[in-house]
């Protein structure tokens, strides 16, 4: 599919499992949205605390390192609203408790678009089994988007906190085999690479540029662009309903 019309949301909330998941999957698109004025927030379900295997490293120290790296990576593309839920890395499950935490963030941030992974992907290719935390965070995110975030009688205690029911307009699903929509990131791929390099602990003796350019080039193959990120898009609220609920977005 060609990128015939670029969709520019007013706001977006990205929900992932670990630090660096966003940078690998969709930071080029996020950078483009931010450049065009979107308000964007990140929600990290874990702090990636088991992702540093250095001798003598503790989970507590690793969490501090990886959160700092993620905050720095977000700043590269202009995102300053970063939330860490600090669920256990490597043991994430799509529980009701996690769903409630994500509903809280959706109602707080009120994003037009939620970006998350695909919980159905287990075997990404012949060399990679999708991380169970990726599947868990994606399932929890989708369950939070619909129906939970938009139902005022679900998690009523959030209403009492002033967090009223809110339903996003669209969900952008990242993943290894998504190809329904491609976003041209030719102008922002350098920011994507720079953001990835901010994850210093994950880049020891490794620079991500060649791999990232290869993947983005593959996503753009056959399109009128050099580099792209691919998504599946679910429209939760149709255009007519969204315009009726949010007329200020169309002024």
Q: For residue 243, what are the CA distances in angstroms to 53, 87, 166, 169, 230?
A: 49, 36, 14, 10, 26
* Domain total of the chain: 1
Q: Which two tokens stand for residue 123?
A: 């075997």
The residue with tokens 């669209």 is 170
In a domain, 153, yes or no: yes
Confidence of residue 1 (pLDDT cuts 50, 70, 90): very low
pLDDT of 21 reads: 97
Task: Pull the structure tokens for residue 111.
Answer: 């994003």
Q: What is the pTM of this model?
A: 0.94
Is residue 5 domain-resident?
A: no
* DSSP per position, 29-66: HHHHHHHTT-EEEEEEEE--TTS---TT--HHHHHHHH
Q: Would residue 3 count as lying in a domain?
A: no
Residue 88 lies in a domain: yes
Per the domain annotation, does 101 fall within a domain? yes
The range of the structural domain enclosing residue 134 comes to 11-250
Give the model's pLDDT for residue 121. Answer: 87
Residue 91 host element (H or E): none
Give residue-wise pLDDT tens across range 44-71.
999 999 999 899 999 999 999 999 999 9
Residue keyed to tokens 């169309």: 250
For every residue of 69-89, DSSP letters joined together read HHHHHHHHTT--EEEEEEEPT
* CATH code, domain with 50: 3.40.50.10320
Task: Give the pLDDT confidence score for residue 194 in this predicted structure.
Answer: 98
Q: Over pLDDT 70: what percentage of the chain?
A: 97
Q: Which residues lie closer than 8 Å to 149 by C-beta, 6 or more apart?
A: 102, 103, 106, 107, 165, 166, 167, 168
- As a whole number of angstroms, the distance between CA 154 and CA 147 comes to 9
In-domain check, residue 1? no
Residue 130 lies in a domain: yes
Is 216 part of any domain? Answer: yes
Order across the sheet with 113-116: list the strands: 81-87, 39-46, 11-16, 113-116, 170-173, 228-235, 181-184
């Amino acid at each position: 599919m060609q990128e015939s019309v670029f969709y520019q949301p007013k706001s977006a909330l990205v929900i992932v499992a670990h630090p660096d998941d966003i940078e690998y999957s969709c930071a080029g698109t996020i950078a483009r949205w931010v450049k065009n004025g979107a308000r964007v927030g990140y929600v990290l379900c874990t702090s990636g605390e088991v992702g540093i295997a250095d001798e003598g490293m503790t989970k507590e120290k690793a969490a501090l390192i990886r959160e700092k790296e993620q905050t720095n990576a977000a700043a590269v593309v202009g995102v300053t609203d970063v939330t860490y839920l600090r669920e256990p890395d490597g043991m994430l499950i799509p529980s009701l408790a996690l769903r409630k935490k994500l509903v809280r963030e959706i109602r707080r941030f009120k994003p037009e678009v939620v970006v998350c992974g695909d919980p159905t992907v287990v075997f990404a290719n012949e060399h990679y089994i999708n991380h169970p935390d990726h599947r868990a965070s994606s399932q929890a995110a989708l369950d939070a988007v619909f129906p939970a975030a938009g139902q005022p009688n679900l998690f009523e205690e959030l209403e009492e906190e002033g967090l009223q029911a809110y339903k996003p307009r669209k969900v952008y699903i990242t993943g290894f085999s998504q190809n329904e929509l491609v976003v041209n990131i030719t102008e922002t791929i350098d920011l994507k690479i720079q953001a990835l390099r901010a994850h210093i602990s994950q880049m020891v003796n490794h620079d991500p540029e060649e791999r990232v350019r290869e993947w983005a080039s593959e996503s753009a193959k056959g399109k009128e662009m050099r580099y792209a990120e691919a998504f599946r898009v679910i429209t939760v609220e149709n255009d007519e309903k969204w315009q009726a609920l949010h007329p200020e977005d169309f002024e």
